[in-house]
Structure 1
């Protein structure tokens, strides 16, 4: 975000923790961002993702870039999950969160000829036994965005 803020970009910041959003927003303003809004919520929730894009469009009137950066890491062997559903938050945030955001942003990005930036991980190509679901979520992101292009 600091690179965008230093260039005076208008920013819509999204995260679950409002207190952290407030800090990033203030830092962005100090670095030169012309306008910053914060939108608390969870990218793993499809309704929140629609709200994020809707509020951004309502405030700024357009969307030029979407930066998908949300992620949850993992440090457990697959067979050590007490229930397989315990892996869902990793996939929901790491893969579906970016996918939901992209779905709602695409009409506005097409209109502005905007860009999508996706932060992934080397784990998408170099899997680890302690990060099976994490690696799978990052590999899914890579393949999804390669197919989307």
Structure 2
């Protein structure tokens, strides 16, 4: 198992960015086509992303500083629901918010796909959190 780390800076306050991580409409504005989120520890985390059902639960919700969820995919034996962990750390900076994403416990054969996915989706988060209306996402993982 390994981890993937990445970060972005967004020209929006942490309180604004936080809502894009914990609400159904916020989440689907930048990642996924459908979401059902219950942002309390033990609450449901369910997002359909490019035809893949990401499933887990909220592990930590520290408004507006940190969100941690368990993560995996329904029907995937090598990365089943809840088998990895994604943490979003929001830090205020002069230009807005620095968002660090740490995805841990990834099977080696899932690291590249998740690195590509996080790169794609975090750019969309940057745009959505600054008020841009994005077109529906057509991203697909590399074969």
Question: Is TM-score (shorter-chain normalized) higher than 0.5?
Answer: no
- Greater fraction helix: 1
Q: Give the structure, 1 or 2, with the largest relative contact order (CA under 8 Å, sep 6 or more).
A: 2
Question: Max radius of gyration: which structure?
Answer: 1
